[in-house]
Amino acid sequence: MEMNSKQLLILYATQTGNALDVAERIAREAERRACSVVIRSTHEYDASSLPAEDTVIFVVSTTGQGDTPDSMKVFWRFLLQRNLGSHWLEGVHYAVFGLGDSGYQKYNFVAKKLDKRLSDLGATAVIDRGLGDDQHPSGYEAALDPWMSSLWSGLNEIKPDFFPEGPDFLVPIEELIGQPKFQVTYHNIDNMDTQLSTTTDFKYLQMQIGRARSMSSGKVPHEKSKPDAFLKMVKNFPLTKASHEKDVRHFEFEFVSQVIQYEVGDILEVLPSQNPAAVDSFIQRCNLDPESFITVHPREMENHLLDNNLTALDVPIKLRTFVELTMDVASASPRRYFFEARSFWFNYMYPFGKFVINVMSFFATAEHEKERLQYFASPEGRDDLYQYNQKERRTVLEVLEDFPSVQMPFEWLVQLVPPLKNRAFSISSSPLAHPNQVHLTVDVVSWTTPFKRKKWGLCSTWLASLVPEQRIYIPVWFHKGLLPPPPPSLPLILIGPGTGCAPFRGFVEERAVQSQSSTVAPTLFFFGCRNKHNDFLYRDLWLSHSQNDGVLSEAKGGGFYAAFSRDQPQKVYVQHKMQEQSQRIWNLLGEGAAIYVAGSSTKMPSDVMVALEEIISKESGAPRESATRWLRSLEKAGKYHVEAWS
């Protein structure tokens, strides 16, 4: 049988790695059907080549409030060019699968607008777009499985040569496993790291983190491997009462390396430290040598002469350090890929050369474990796997301990263990008010699983455990957020319930400093929490600025309004307080005010939007539809900003 020359192109745009997971899963299923596949990130694909393609599958995630992932921004700007006519993609077939969260207002917005733009440029959809929802009980896979079934049928109808044996033919699962995507090379080096392992030389620490994370299988192309700076904690105190169900902390940090100039509204990313005992347990469970020196690189680079021509990124690192800095062994749940992982490899003896095997079951020596893992990897076992894994938030270490006969080579673990990800927080300080410092407002995450197991968030719990005397150096990265810093002359309407108040603490502090030397525009701030006496975050700060001609005082045209949802029989939220101040909001909008919203993504942003529509309609006398259009024009003008998180 001849090798099929027609290739299916899969382009993905990911921010955190989910879209890549889906793209690889689609590729695996296509290859099982003897279809040749090429996968590319949108950041490395030349968009001008699209008209020459036959069929393209797009897998795209939506970030923030309807934003494209960073890796897609250049690609998307190219597609938006006006000189691309309605026939530019004529003859090109496509399909789009999106990943989003229906808790956000602009659910799967990127997939929707990409689908429309491709159609406008003349491309033909193979099937309707698929929309994966993180809120679904089975996650995005609930939509992905049926969408893929339709995709194979649709492709076979228009391009049957993709599937020489038909879309229902599957390359048989053989008891043979292919090679993992990553090569681990072990080096004979004595104590390379020990000479500097206890030093406070931040250049070395930065280099060590950089080289470990540059070798990580979870490296996202647009991310910087080396941290921007190192911080040390100088204050750590609770903002909520000890009796309250939530533990919200105020953290203050100082720069101990170079000082990074940031602005209010910026984001701080923190690389969390894993529990050393958990790292040791993982290494022991997997029979690894923590003291060995390794380099990790994609397998296609395996002929690279590592020992003779090492680059800066090829410098060997201790295995334990690599695990500690790049592999999330005791916090993140393994993805379905961990259970169903399959590898495809080419062999001249086999025309399609794609053999598929469940990696965990392949390495399981106990028959009952092998059977259970194969069931989890099957379509019939999808829901049970979701209950066992995602719902219970089992970690990689817990899963490996549940299947003690599984002994996977380290190369497979590097590929399959979820990467240790930076955690992003809204900065809650102003550099004008706190030079050389960064403040965070953090909810220490904890929850109970359906089987009554207590779980804790990795980063927030670690930060809460730190005390200033420890002098732990925290690697951080600074990024622009979705809340641009406002000029002093711009009137503001801020809505930030719960920890959504974090960025606005920085806004208010900055305006207080600016007001000492110049006039600042009025600021209205709507805050919300459960109880006045339990979780009224930064109570004294807000009240002090709302009195004595402070920047939130009515004397300065501003105002501070707090909603306590559980202090009375009827729940009161920020949108109710906004309704009470509808005239003041309308007057400030008339003066050109910008609206900033921050907090939980679940319902709050949409409830606030509805309240604003009602306020504008009521105060202007215009129909509700006009109020909606008015708010959309405000958003397009860069005066309506939302930063929400789940």
- Is 529 known to sit in a ligand binding site? no
- Is 405 known to sit in a ligand binding site? no
- Is 199 known to sit in a ligand binding site? no
Burial class (CB in 10 A: 0-12, 13-18, 19+), 381: middle
- Is 194 known to sit in a ligand binding site? no
- Is 566 known to sit in a ligand binding site? yes
Say if CB 640 and CB 634 are below 8 A apart. yes
Q: 400 CB contacts (<8 Å, ≥6 apart)?
A: 282, 285, 286, 406
Say if CB 101 and CB 90 are below 8 A apart. no
- Is 460 known to sit in a ligand binding site? yes
- Is 105 known to sit in a ligand binding site? no
- Is 446 known to sit in a ligand binding site? no
- Is 149 known to sit in a ligand binding site? no
**572-573-577-578 Cα dihedral, nearest 10 degrees:** -150
- Is 134 known to sit in a ligand binding site? yes
- Is 15 known to sit in a ligand binding site? yes
The Cα 578–Cα 561 span in angstroms is 8
**Could you tell me which residues are beta bridge partners of residue 184?**
296
- Is 536 known to sit in a ligand binding site? no
- Is 645 known to sit in a ligand binding site? yes
- Is 64 known to sit in a ligand binding site? yes
- Is 216 known to sit in a ligand binding site? no
Say if CB 122 and CB 88 are below 8 A apart. yes
Secondary structure (3-state) at 127: coil
- Is 506 known to sit in a ligand binding site? no
- Is 607 known to sit in a ligand binding site? yes
- Is 425 known to sit in a ligand binding site? yes
- Is 381 known to sit in a ligand binding site? no
The tokens describing 307, both together, are 């020992």
Q: Are strands 454-456 and 293-298 parallel, antiparallel or unpaired?
A: unpaired
- Is 18 known to sit in a ligand binding site? yes
- Is 191 known to sit in a ligand binding site? no
Secondary structure (3-state) at 251: strand
The tokens describing 64, both together, are 């923030």
Residue 450 sits at φ, ψ, to 5 deg, of -55, -30
- Is 544 known to sit in a ligand binding site? no
- Is 16 known to sit in a ligand binding site? yes
Which residue in the block uniquely carries the two structure tokens 């991310």?
223
- Is 63 known to sit in a ligand binding site? yes
Would you give the DSSP letter of residue 618? Answer: H
- DSSP H or E segment with residue 604: helix 604-620
- Is 374 known to sit in a ligand binding site? no
Would you give the DSSP letter of residue 67? Answer: B
**Which residues define the annotated binding site for NADP(+)?**
499, 565-566, 571-575, 607
Binding-site members for FMN are: 14-19, 61-64, 134
What are the binding residues?
A: 14-19, 61-64, 134, 393, 423-426, 457-460, 499, 565-566, 571-575, 607, 645
Binding site feature residues for FAD: 393, 423-426, 457-460, 645
